[in-house]
Every structure is written in structure tokens, then in C-alpha cells.
Chain A
């Protein structure tokens, strides 16, 4: 794997990860995102429906949270999660947690972390963690990490302990990695912790960078964990300590505006759980990112939601955490709303996704109010397509020195123009 940075604009890195996969046949452009899955399949989608989308990311994220309970099965299967799940030719990255289903706190010890799947909690030691990786056989995986620093008022001492534990887990993982033939050719990504303590962030980054890792996973920056300014400061301080030639993936950040803020702080990669969360709350991404000012675009903008319906905000609670679909953002429209009952336009005009080519808002609205399964399928297709389109636009903006235009467009979206 090689990261070629073609351009750095005000902290933003435009580049390409090349030579990915066992034979080096794949590449991934940055800033970019991975393909989100549950139990190694994109939620709601069969391979046939998924592949109505073009330009899918070359890397698929699978999670131990959804695979741990199938360890015995995977061990007997012997060929790893990619083949087990009948995935297409893709690079597989295995993370510890499911970014759309954060684990409850209070289950981390000196020697163990816990993941939560459909069958409940699985407690992992480093040995068990590595045995699982051997069964999953990913191309990339993150080391086991103590990420339990997200709560408010986490003490400095606890943060220090998380950094220490994570480094020791990393060393153990790297040691075991050498001994496991199943993981030959796979690469370890080092997890950087440090909560909201700048010195700990710097220490975690420096120490992790000393180890033979392929890339860095920046943990503890998920939406809601801290204010935007603090996140930017901490991310900037962290990435300053990391080598330029290795990719940085931030966990738990999905909103387009937050994605841009992280890119400006030196982040290259994101998970794509955000379109899934939007789907689960019956919404469709509709923010505009084309940076064109043609009349058609103006029409598109005027379709945008003026306000978020009150009931949606209440219904979804206030913190956006847990397994629930979280809070609605300004980047989406609430298709369950009755204003779409007779709206015969596509979700987003000009969108090339299967849903927008074949169906109308009124139909998706109908599927949502009647609780039909096809709603999830169509929304997942559209939201994924839209999100991937946003990342393409982001890279284009960086290439053309037009990031301010793109940011302006997202800001207008905030203000409901």
C-alpha cells in the first residue's frame, strides 16, 4: 500500500492510496470513505441491488461487533469474511465496533474490551481479538483499543490509562500478528486515543507512529463527543505528529460539514455509516454539492427543507447515540412527512441512483408510511450514492482550489436556502 499525496490545500490532503488488496489491484482516492456493512453486507442491500451503484469504494468495512458471534463458523469456513459473505472483489477493513451502534460504557478492563452484536456482548482479550482477525482474514484491521473516553468528565487519569492500554494492546497485536499465517499480507492500523486531553493525544500519536502500522485510526472524535472547535484543535495536534505518508481514518464522523472540518485537520478516510443512519430515520440526503450555479441547481435548492419538523427532533431524542437512527440533520429530507404524498419528483433530480431513476418521492413516502421493506432498500441506495457523490465533489473541490465554494454550499444548506 502506498499513499500518494498529490496536493495539500490548507491542511487538506488530496491523494490516492494505491496497491491495495492482496495483489495490489485496488486503489482508493482520498479524502474518501469505506463501504459500511453489518455482518459484512451493506444494510438492506443484496449484491445485485448494491451493484446498481457505480464507483463503489474499493474498501469495505466489516465490524467485529457483527462478526464476533460467528467466530466458530468463520474458523470452520477458513476462507475469511469476504468469501463467507460472498462479497465482490474488495479490500476488507475490519474495525472493532459498529460505528452506527456505539457500545455502552462500563465493560472495558485492563485486559479486555467488549463488542455488542445481535447475540449480545462478546468480551475480547487480545488473544481472542487476534483469533477473530485470523478467522475474518481482513486486508486491514485496527488493533484492539480502549476507546472508553467519550463521556463527559472522563478524568485525565482515565484518559492516560486508555492511551497506555491501547499501546500495550497494539504491541501484543503486532506480536501475535507475526505468528499467524492467516494474517500474512494483512496490515495493522494503529488506534490513536487520548480523549480530549491534548498531551495524551500527542503522546498516543507519537507512540503509535513508532510502531510498524500501515495507517492510523483516530478514535474518540465521534459526533457529540466534543465541540467542533475542540475537535479541530485536537485533530490538528494529532495529525501533526503522524507521518505524512500514511493514511488517517477518523471513526464515528459522518456529517458532511464535520467531514470537511476533519479533512481540514488532516484526515483522509471516513466510515460511511451516515447514509445508513439517515436511511433508518426514513430520510433522504438532499444537500447540494455540485458547486454549479445553474438555474436547475437553484430549483434543487428551493426544494430543500426550510425547517426540520418538530416531531422528528423529539421522536429521535437529543443525543443521537445508541442504536437508534439519531437526530435528523440539515442535509436530509424527512420523506415520511405528508408534504411528499403527492410529490412525483425523484428524491434528488439528476441523481443517477437506482431509486431516483425509477421512483418518485410519493412512492418512497408511501413505502415509509406503510412500513414496507423496500423503503430501506431504495433509501439506502440513494443515500449511499449521494454520500459517495459528496466525496467526489470534495476531492474535485480540493483539486480545483474551490473548497470555500463547497463549504459555502453546505453552509447555505444549514441556513435552509
Chain B
């Protein structure tokens, strides 16, 4: 097993520069975070790590369920713990508006407010503003927008974002970044990239709890490799405990998406965690683990559950459709979640019509599916059989190999996995 940030050589696909150089520097000096690399795949860039955060150790690769407003869609914190979830997300924009940072401060942070004993990651609030609020304007000062609650104009600055996140007390905070849609091109992308770097510096200065809360930088640069590289170069000079790959999964071509991901992991320091924002489809998760990412989040598994869509190794089941009315099998016979151990597809089909418990059952299953998938990925990396895992995962997910998405085939080929 590899030692944390040792001088050992990184195996895997073509590093353009020696990441050991960066690893020999100390990981962010005071950060309340430690990354121990447990195993690295000798074929791909995949890695399994123990990420120690203030509230508990997180086994990576990890999927982090999203609890937007300080709650995970009808699931109690005990249920989440029972599913072995070690870290989940809260949204700064929502929580900063309701109930507000002062109140959460009084409740001993978001942990105290929602009664969650494990780790929390909060976003900067910027993304929600750009995506939810039409009238937002970005200036050097920050993001300006009209509150959907009272119509008042609000300015979210990097300092303000960190101030709120300090009140929330999350284990990982995200810098405020200048988000542009991944389909935008031209000078706006470059401007956003440079501004995100300047805002990172302001966020670092604003963090009142560098000994308790980790601040992650967000790599920007759109779909332009030169801008991405420039951003990586600048941001990795900063003493931050971790990095996120941002500005992706916003409707861009998958061909562009995976190339930006793999470029980013090539340049990111080996001894710091890499978080790919907004990614959560099973295929994307497996491919991006192969490309060297450690952490993922997405609202999809929980949102889709509320529409009765259950995730399975061969895709998904739309439980509300008639075909499941008399199907007396569990969602997935191999799934060990509380829903699959007790209930049939037919009962869930009936229950979804008149009782919210139906949604909760599917949510529990979907979270369990995501977490179990990532545990299996991790185990295969540790046991040095990750490439075989990927192959059988793809076989199970698609009826035949000619239905494999081309981008996934190419992305995996770039890290030496040839699908047959």
C-alpha cells in the first residue's frame, strides 16, 4: 500500500509533468484533512484513498448525496448513517437564505441543525445563483442577483460566501467561482477563469476557520485546454487542501467533458483530493474514477427517485409504469438495501400512488445503489482488478457492446482499458 504523499512514482497514463514534485511539498499546511492513498490502479489513473476529515474518514472514490436544504429528501440522518454514507452536501445558497447563517450558527452549525454527525460539504452558492436566478450579474466584486423570496438585490462576494460557509461549519467549503455555462466560448470564459483565481485568493483570506474547515479551489477554464492548464497552474500554487474540477456537466459534449477531466487530473497534485462537481450517472462515475477523480456529487439519484425511478446495474426501472404492477421481485435481487430486502416492485408501484413512503423507499435504494457502486469500485482498485471491474460493469449496463457510448470507450482507452 502506498504511503501518503511519498516519493513513489505514479503509475498510469501519461503524466505531462512530475506530480511528485508537488507531492513532496507539504499538503496544505494546517488543513484539517489528510489523504492516504491506499491503492493506485496500475493500469488507469484510478486510486483508492482514505480521506480523513474532521468528522470521520471518507473512503474514496466516494459519491456524496445532496441534501440541499439541510435534509436528504425524506431520509432521516439515521437511515443515511445506516447506508454507510460518510459525507453529504448542503447548499449554501438555500441554507443562507432559509434559515440563514445566524440561525445555523446558533444551532451549532449545519451539523447541529440537521443532527448529522458525519462530514458535510457545502458549495459556494454561486452556481445556484447562476442556474436558479435569471437576473444575476457578475462583477469583480461578486455575483449580484435578486432574491426570489423578497425581490431584494443581493450581492454575494467571495467573502460573503465563505462567511456563510463558516457559519454552516462544513468540513469542506467551496470557493466562490465565476461560473459560465460550459457551452459558452470566447473571452468570457477566460475572464471567468482569471476572476475565479482572484476570488480563490479572497476566499483563502476570508476563511476564519482554516484549522477546522477545508477550502477547496475550483478549476475553471471551460472547454479550452489552454485555459484549463493556465488555471491549474495558478491554482495549484495555492496552499489549498483540495481541488474541484468545475465548469463541466452543464450540457457540453461528453467528448469535451472527459478530455477536460483527464487534463485536470494530469495536472492536479497527487496528494490532494480531486472532486468532480455535479457528476453522478453510474457510467460517468466509473469512467471518471478511471480518469483519476476521487469525489462526486449529483442530485440525480435522489431527484429521480421521487419520480419512481430506481437505479439498477442494468440502467433504471420506472416503477410507476404499468409493467411493474404485478412484478413481485425486489428492485434488484442482489441489492442489500432495506427496500430490496423487504419490498417488491409491485408494492412500490402501488405505494407510489398514495403514500410518500413509496418515494422514501426508492430514495433509500438509489442512495444505496450509488454508495455500493463506489464501494465496489474502491474494492476493485484495492484488489488490483479495477480494469476487469470496469469491463463487467459496462457489460451489465448495456445490452451489447455496440451500445457503449463512444466517449466512454475513448475515455477508457485513454487510460488503457480496451472494452471488447
Contact = CB atoms under 8 A, between A and B. Distances in A.
Nearest to B359: A373
A49 B338 CA distance: 11
B416 interface: no
Contacts of A41: 351, 355, 357-358
A77 B106 contact: no
A166 B403 CA distance: 62
A3 interface: no
Nearest to B71: A374
B99 A341 contact: yes
A54 to B, nearest CB: 15
Given A344-B106, A360-B107, A372-B69, A38 B355 contact: yes
A47 B326 CA distance: 22
B347 A374 contact: no
A366 B342 CA distance: 32
A358 B115 contact: yes
B76 interface: yes
A354 B76 contact: yes
A370 B69 contact: yes
Contact of A49 (B79, B325, B328): B79
Interface string B355-377: 11111110010000000000000
A214 to B, nearest CB: 28
B113 interface: yes
Nearest to A50: B357
A314 B78 CA distance: 37
Among A70, A72, A374, the one with the most B-chain Cβ atoms within 10 Å of its Cβ is A374
Contacts of B114: 363
A340 to B, nearest CB: 11
Given A73-B326, A354-B78, A367-B71, A344 B107 contact: yes
A46 B107 contact: no
Among B113, B326, B351, B357, the one with the most A-chain Cβ atoms within 10 Å of its Cβ is B357
A57 B133 CA distance: 49
B174 to A, nearest CB: 21
Contacts of B342: 47, 86
B73 interface: yes
Interface string A61-98: 00000100010110011000000111000000000000
Interface in B28-87: 69-79, 82
B115 A376 contact: no
A74 to B, nearest CB: 9
B390 to A, nearest CB: 33
Contacts of B361: 46
A366 B355 contact: no
A369 interface: yes
A44 interface: yes
B360 A377 contact: yes
Contacts of B238: none
B208 interface: no
Interface of A: 38-39, 41-49, 52, 66, 70, 72-73, 76-77, 84-86, 117-119, 341-342, 344, 354, 358-360, 362-363, 366-367, 369-370, 372-374, 376-378
9 contacts: A38-B354, A38-B355, A46-B364, A48-B79, A85-B351, A341-B103, A344-B106, A344-B107, A370-B98
The list of the 7 closest CB pairs from A to B, nearest first, reads A373-B74, A86-B342, A118-B354, A374-B71, A118-B353, A358-B115, A41-B357
Interface of B: 69-79, 82, 94, 98-99, 103, 106-107, 113-115, 325-326, 328, 338-339, 342-344, 346-347, 350-351, 353-361, 364
Given A43-B357, A49-B76, A344-B106, 15 more contacts: A39-B355, A44-B355, A45-B357, A46-B357, A47-B338, A49-B79, A72-B326, A73-B325, A86-B342, A341-B103, A360-B107, A363-B70, A367-B69, A373-B360, A376-B74
